[in-house]
Amino acid sequence: MTVEIVVTDAPFNTQYAPLAVLAAHYQQQQTFQPLFNLSLPGKQRDFSPEDKLLQIMTSMLAGCATLSEVNPRLKSEVALARSWGWLRFADQSTLSRTLDQLTLKQIEALRGSTTAIWWPQSQMRRHDWRGYLWLEYDLSGLPCSAAAEASQKGYFSDKKTSPDASSRGSVA
């Protein structure tokens, strides 16, 4: 498959051009084939249940934190949908219903399929686990910027960090 990326003024541009190239690569490598080996319930009017799961994976790759972001972000992205072989993206409610219909046994099979997808790509296999894994917990309660990733106001039970505390996380 040959992928051509050009800048045009045509109405079928996509802001997700890198994701379209990634789609071509994944299709060529059959990366998501384990999703198509599942036995999933659901009607197939416009999309198969496997295609809906693939659209959910695509929404994650596009930066959607929840399915409610699919319509505003991906519904108008016809060029991206076509790079995956679809005419358009499914509605977020359709994707949610697909997940709601899964039984515990199917969820376990889906977990196995997604593991089969990410495991060959994972750097975790090459990590030297003999050393320590350092985790940093910042319980200082110091204010952070409103622009900080996933920042939100928290509760610290009236404990304040003194401005002259010599170490991070010490509570006066």
The region of weakest confidence among 80-94, 98-112, 144-158 is: 144-158
Q: Mean of the pLDDT values across residues 159-168? A: 53
**pLDDT above 60: residue 160:** no
pLDDT attached to residue 137: 65
Q: Round to whole Å and give the CA distance between 80 and 16.
A: 7
Q: With H, G, I as helix, E, B as strand and everything else as coil, classify residue 100.
A: helix
pLDDT attached to residue 46: 87
**pLDDT above 60: residue 82:** yes
With bands split at pLDDT 50, 70 and 90, how would you rate the model's confidence at 111? very high
Q: Round to whole Å and give the CA distance between 96 and 71.
A: 12
Output the pTM of the full model.
0.65
Q: Exposed (0-12), middle (13-18) or buried (19+): which is 89, by Cβ within 10 Å? A: buried
Q: How many CB atoms lie within 10 A of CB 102?
A: 18
**pLDDT above 80: residue 154:** no
The residue among 170 and 77 whose pLDDT is bigger is 77
Q: Which residues contact 37 (CB under 8 A, 6 or more apart)?
A: 113
Q: How many CB atoms lie within 10 A of CB 55?
A: 23
